[in-house]
Amino acid sequence: MIMKKKKWLNTGLLLLFLAAELVLLYGLTKTKTLSNCSITAERFAALREGKKESPGLLKNISFGEEQLIHDTDTGLWYYSLPDGAAELRDPIIKFSAGVGARIVFSEPEITPESIAAARPLKFLVYTPFSCEEGSIVCTTLPLLSLDFDEEAISEEDDAPTRAFLTLIDNRGDAASRITHSDASVHVRGNMTREFPKKGFRLELTRPGKEAGETRENELPLLGLQSESDWILYAAYNDQEKVRNVFCSNLWKQSCAADNEPGYDTGMEYRYVELFLNNRYWGLYALGYPVSEKSIGLPLAKGSYGLYKATRGVTDENRIEFLDADEEDDVRLRALRPQMRGKSTLSFSQKWDPILEYYYEMYQNCKDDAGLMEITDLHNALDYYLFVNMTQGQDQASVFGYTNRYMLVFPDGEHWKALYLPWDMDRTWGNSPDTEQTYNTGRYAYEADYDIYVEDGPLHQMLLNGDPKIRSMIAQRWSELRSDVWSDAKILGLLNLLEADIYGSGAFIRDAERWPESFHNDAAEGLNTFRTYVLNRLHYVDSYYADEETAASLWNYTMQQEDFRPVYRFYSFPDKDLMTYWFKKMDGYNLLVQVNDLSAWDDERFISLVRDLGVSDAETASRPDMLVLQSGKTEHTVLQDFLINGTTADTVVGSLTFYESEGGYYGIYQDGKEVIVKPADERMEEPFRLIWFSPLVDDAGDCYDPHVNTGDWLFSEDY
């Protein structure tokens, strides 16, 4: 009887305890908010004392209608605060745990200070006999989660990983707080795909009509335009994680539609925090790639050409043409057409726009009026000044431009081009530097360091020396600085980005997640970057305000001897494209130099020669030199020409071959040397293609020949 009384007494005490806790925690209210559930540090410790640690006691937890994301590695929970909502600091709490479990918090509200400091909100879930202590990370950024079956996302572009996307959109005016979609994802980037924190490409999908079929799922994520194709940018080698996003958003907001047809040549980003298979992956920027749709192009085939530079093309004259679905890491990437899916366009439909555009530039290289006919002046000026202002090394050809699109569109009897910048991480002082960690020099350039666009018709007009072009550049700078590039608007955009990167606490979390990456001092925020940007803007102001200083732009340009005012085109990795170009255009001389006569046993070489218009009967004697002119049917076939001192009359004039005692060989045309090369290199190659232009500048020295090792036309790499 006594034991039964003790049992009932213990049960009664437990019930009294639970009742007291209910009064304490919830104030006898039905709504459980954060402030209702908060207790003092002393009470928090007392509740924890003597209870058994029970990891996994908390099954899930929601703040408002948002179920928090749980990082299975760290045990942390993540909450994206709704922008401007009434429950911003005191959300309604819902949770699922063991029978009779309660929850308490160490703080009565979520503060901006705790968010920016990345200080988690501590909680305790407990029963009379067990407990689990944990933390909730609060952020002002959207949260994006990708769940997939594989251990890691594929790094192969043609082998995407199937995934399921969940996006928590915290914008106050978001049409939907939670977005779900099937997706495929793979690693993206050239150099950056080698970094530990990788960038990703997403394609949103939905089930098709047939079993197993998938279709594009276009959604306006985070208020951006409706797209199925998305980019997750990692900013791994940027110490402030701001450059590419800042530049992209600035171009989008200021200059993207400033062109004659009114096309949108920009793209933009929004910051998110990313999770992969319930593991926190860091601070990313979500954006969309440039495409026909984003620009607003007509769908008629052949009505335009959209091209993308994805490798270090050293200048606009050195172009190798590849199809959109070709991937090559061996040689310089070409400008390539971006078509939806597998393109059904013919070679002519894909490439004629840019071929004709460049050809007009070539034909009018000394005629500013002719160059102006193919120039969209506002886009040309804006792009020139934008690259100069931002110090965009990857967008300026003198460094081997890689990161830009070109849109070539018809305008009456001419083709014009719009230049579109993208992937601008090496800007505002940061430089490409293979000697530095992650190939990036941080603030390697002072604010007065200038980089110029040195290709295209605007550059050609600068080379021609018309002072009106310099005046146009200076005038356009003044217009932009008084409006969309004013200090106030630049700083306004930077302040918004600073709030996202640093005010959310995401920068600190990214540094903890990727400690080997570049990160500045979080307490510094964008102060150093902001100061650099203003110093750069004010320097450029002074540059264009002074006529004598502005005139130095011409002096600088004329010093760049690699960029002479004659455009020429190099041969291509596909012989069909090369012969097409050769037959179509005028103004080039071609020497086919056969160093090893066994090349005539290769049917591929014979086919190339046939395509150039030389018959089998003419080559039956296995000649060692063919002399041709583009756009012409006449040619010369030479036997035993590659002997020291040999001279022959040809369709391009008198040619002479010589070998020097110093180990070089050369060819003269009408007494002018057009090529000189090491003799040992010649003997290592079965044949060579030697291109040179018959045009000369006023000094008579613009032959600028190019030699291709011809056998790579047949390489399996292509």
pLDDT at 550: 58
Beta pairing, strands 130-139 & 77-80? parallel
The CATH classification number of 25-139 equals 2.60.40
Report pLDDT digits (tens) over 247-283: 999 999 999 999 999 999 999 999 999 999 999 999 9
d(CA 576, CA 607): 10
pLDDT at 17: 45
Q: How far is CA 538 from the centre of its chain?
A: 28
Question: CA angle, 490 as apex, 522 and 239 as ends, to 5°?
Answer: 30
Mean pLDDT within 367-393: 94
CA atoms within 13 A on the CB side of 492: 9
Mean pLDDT within 492-499: 98
pLDDT at 345: 64
pTM: 0.81
**438 has a pLDDT exceeding 80:** no
Report in angstroms the alpha-carbon separations of 259 from 132, 290, 381, 416, 567: 60, 16, 10, 11, 25
Find the range with the poorest average confidence among 302-306, 320-324, 391-395.
320-324
**667 has a pLDDT exceeding 50:** yes
**626 has a pLDDT exceeding 60:** yes
pLDDT at 459: 84
Find the range with the poorest average confidence among 155-159, 169-173, 446-450.
155-159
150, 151, 153, 156 alpha-carbon torsion, rounded to 10°: -80
**356 has a pLDDT exceeding 90:** no
Outline which parts of the chain fall under CATH 2.60.40.
Answer: 25-139
Strands (E), 375-488: 404-411, 414-421, 431-432, 440-441
d(CA 54, CA 602): 76
pLDDT at 348: 66
**569 has a pLDDT exceeding 60:** no
Find the range with the poorest average confidence among 171-175, 232-236, 486-490, 712-716.
712-716
pLDDT at 135: 97
**With bands split at pLDDT 50, 70 and 90, how would you rate the model's confidence at 564?**
very low
Q: For residue 100, what are the contacts with CB-CB under 8 A and spacing of at least 6?
A: 18, 127, 128
Residue 341 backbone dihedrals phi, psi, to 5 degrees: 60, -150
- Share of residues in the chain with pLDDT > 70 (%): 78
Give the mean pLDDT of the chain.
82
pLDDT at 401: 59
Higher-pLDDT residue of 344, 306:
306
**476 has a pLDDT exceeding 90:** yes
**39 has a pLDDT exceeding 80:** yes
